[in-house]
Amino acid sequence: MSVISTQKDTEKLTLEFVAEFAAPVQRVWQIWEDPRQLERWWGPPTWPATFTRHELSVGGESRYFMSGPAGEKSAGWWKTTAVNAPTLLEFDDGFAGEDGEPSGYLGTTHCVVTLEQAGEETRMITTSYFESLEQLEEMVKMGMQDGMSLAMGQIDALLV
């Protein structure tokens, strides 16, 4: 089923994605927990991710890069701020330099992921909180809204 709605809220400085999957909450949690599964959907189909580090515990850090169709690379980082498996994950994230470390480019966003049972399915709500309207608009302009929708669209295939 995948993404059923996206909402950009310029007053709250948020971008929210709601997706539903025909799998139990614990199974959907695994796509966040296991870096090899995360690599199969984090990033749109033409920009697959490679995680070089993934520590899903409070204070843990993750490092990854996405590879573009022409060989270009874009690196990113996470710092986990809250975990309540299998229903809640929060992390700060941003762009990284070639060394994989935070670059400060476009600041930091805070992401909150909640998983909840919705009848026979699992509802995943992913909300990114931005530091400013300028940051939100620039990230949308760079393709974050469409890219995340396409990325989440790959999850169903992992859950079978």
β-sheet bridge partners, residue 5: 18
Q: With contact defined as beta carbons under 8 Å apart, do 5 and 62 qualify?
A: no
Which pLDDT belongs to residue 82?
A: 98
Q: With contact defined as beta carbons under 8 Å apart, do 77 and 61 qualify?
A: yes
Stretch 37-51: mean pLDDT, rounded? 94
Residue 1 has pLDDT above 70, yes or no: no
Stretch 96-100: mean pLDDT, rounded? 90
Stretch 34-49: mean pLDDT, rounded? 94
Which pLDDT belongs to residue 160?
A: 85
Residue 48 has pLDDT above 70, yes or no: yes
Taking the domain 2-126, which CATH number applies? Answer: 3.30.530.20
Percent of the chain with pLDDT over 70: 99
Task: Tell me the pLDDT of the chain averaged across its residues.
Answer: 96
Record the pTM: 0.94
State the pLDDT confidence band at 105, using cuts at 50, 70 and 90.
very high
Stretch 30-45: mean pLDDT, rounded? 96
| Contact residues for 20 (Cβ-Cβ < 8 A; gap 6+) | 1, 2, 4, 118, 121, 122, 123, 124
Stretch 112-131: mean pLDDT, rounded? 97
Q: With contact defined as beta carbons under 8 Å apart, do 142 and 130 qualify?
A: no
Which pLDDT belongs to residue 98?
A: 87
When comparing pLDDT for 85 and 100, which is higher? 85
| Contact residues for 147 (Cβ-Cβ < 8 A; gap 6+) | 43, 44, 47
When comparing pLDDT for 99 and 8, which is higher? 8
Residue 42 has pLDDT above 90, yes or no: yes
